[in-house]
């Protein structure tokens, strides 16, 4: 078993080799990441594999529209206008706005990290996290991705995903982060069945050996699981009360989605 360190993990997105102009423009945006938020045109040219002149021209177009901005050192960063548009994504801020009061209540009740995530392919994407300065360190960042099988929110989302997505997760390689990460497809299949049976997931020390997460599903008006909520606690800390609290918060958000058209 090969342990994958959190620092070297990269998402499963691949650049599109058949490059239309539209996809080249969008690939410039993909050059940016959590670790690299400010890039020069040379960086962008190198990371996208496009010639310097092309990169320069497309960067100009993106700056003109506001998807990129130039900082005082002459490097480029993701621009405000892209964020203004992205804020309209129902699966991003739309969901977060509906969920926020419940996340805050759960945080006030538990004083532990509270996370909200959605499934994208075989990864979870964290939409929000409320953190406690007193609680343990977590790897996730808002907008960040993580392989679903290795997280509480991910186990909930996979367990309720369409059959094709589940089979894809069960057939592909499963990255390991600790000695407790579920990497055996049979064990994962049994875990997903257990999550469906109990209605929640307990992810035991799969990402770091000092943390456990308790997660529950959030459903939209059509009854589909569209997101998951979790609380991350120190491994070995007592759990009674945590599972009902997480389930109650998730149910509260689901009820809100019944009424709110802006959610997913």
Interface residue list for its own copies (CB under 8 A): 16, 20-23, 25-26, 29-30, 32-34, 37-38, 58, 61-62, 64-67, 69, 71-72, 77-94, 97, 118, 120, 125, 142-143, 145, 222, 262
Nearer to its own copies, 71 or 167 (CB): 71
Q: How many other CB atoms are there within 10 angstroms of residue 143's CB atom?
A: 12
Residue nearer to its own copies on the CB measure, 61 or 184: 61
**DSSP per residue over 142-187, as a string?**
TT-EEEGGGSHHHHHHHHTS-HHHHHHHHHS---BSSTTS---HHH
CB of 142 to its own copies, least distance (A): 6
**182 or 227: CB nearest its own copies:** 227
How near is the Cβ of 216 to its own copies at its closest, in Å? 21
Distance of closest approach, residue 139 Cβ to its own copies, in angstroms: 15
Instruction: Please give the helix or strand (H or E) that residue 44 lies within, else none.
Output: helix 41-48
Q: Least distance from C-beta 147 to its own copies, angstroms?
A: 15
**Integer Cα distance of 98 and 100 in angstroms:** 6
Tokens 């506001």 — which residue?
A: 66
Nearer to its own copies, 62 or 231 (CB): 62
230 touches 121 (CB < 8 A): no
Is 140 strand, coil or helix?
A: coil
Return the axis-axis angle of helices 152-159 and 185-198, rounded to nearest 10°.
80
Q: How far is the CB of 153 from its own copies (least distance, A)?
A: 14
Joined together, the tokens standing for residue 107 give 């945080």
Rounded least distance, CB 198 to its own copies, Å:
28
d(CA 107, CA 32) in angstroms, rounded, equals: 31
Which residue, 1 or 87, has its beta carbon nearer to its own copies? 87
User: Which DSSP category does 90 fall into?
Assistant: I
For residue 38, CA distances in Å to 42, 43, 61 come to 12, 9, 17
- Minimum Å distance from CB 112 to its own copies? 16
**CB-wise, 69 or 210, nearer to its own copies?**
69
Name which of 143 and 244 has its Cβ closer to its own copies: 143
Report the run of H or E that residue 253 belongs to, with start and end: helix 242-259
Map tokens 């390991």 to a residue.
176
Whether 227 contacts 90, CB under 8 Å: no
């Amino acid at each position: 078993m090969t342990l994958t360190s959190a620092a070297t993990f990269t998402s499963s997105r691949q650049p599109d080799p058949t490059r239309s102009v539209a996809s080249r423009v969008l690939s410039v945006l993909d050059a940016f990441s959590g670790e690299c938020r400010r890039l020069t045109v040379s960086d962008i040219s190198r990371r996208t594999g496009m010639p310097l002149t092309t990169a320069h021209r497309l960067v100009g177009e993106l700056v003109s529209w506001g998807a990129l901005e130039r900082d005082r050192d002459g490097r480029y960063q993701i621009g405000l206008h892209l964020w203004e548009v992205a804020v309209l994504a129902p699966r991003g801020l739309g969901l977060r706005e509906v969920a926020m009061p419940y996340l805050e209540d759960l945080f006030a009740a538990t004083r532990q990290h509270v996370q909200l995530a959605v499934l994208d392919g075989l990864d979870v994407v964290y939409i929000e996290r409320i953190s406690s300065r007193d609680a343990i360190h977590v790897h996730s960042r808002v907008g960040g991705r993580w392989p679903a099988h290795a997280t509480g929110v991910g186990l909930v989302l996979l367990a309720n995903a369409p059959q094709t997505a589940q089979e894809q997760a069960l057939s592909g390689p499963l990255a390991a982060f600790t000695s407790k990460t579920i990497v055996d497809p049979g064990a994962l299949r049994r875990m997903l069945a257990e999550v469906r049976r109990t209605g929640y997931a307990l992810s035991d020390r799969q990402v770091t050996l000092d943390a456990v997460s308790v997660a529950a599903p959030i459903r939209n008006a059509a009854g589909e699981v569209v997101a998951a909520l979790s609380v991350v606690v120190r491994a070995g800390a007592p759990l009674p009360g945590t599972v009902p609290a997480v389930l109650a918060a998730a149910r509260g958000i689901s009820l809100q989605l019944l009424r709110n058209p802006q959610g997913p």
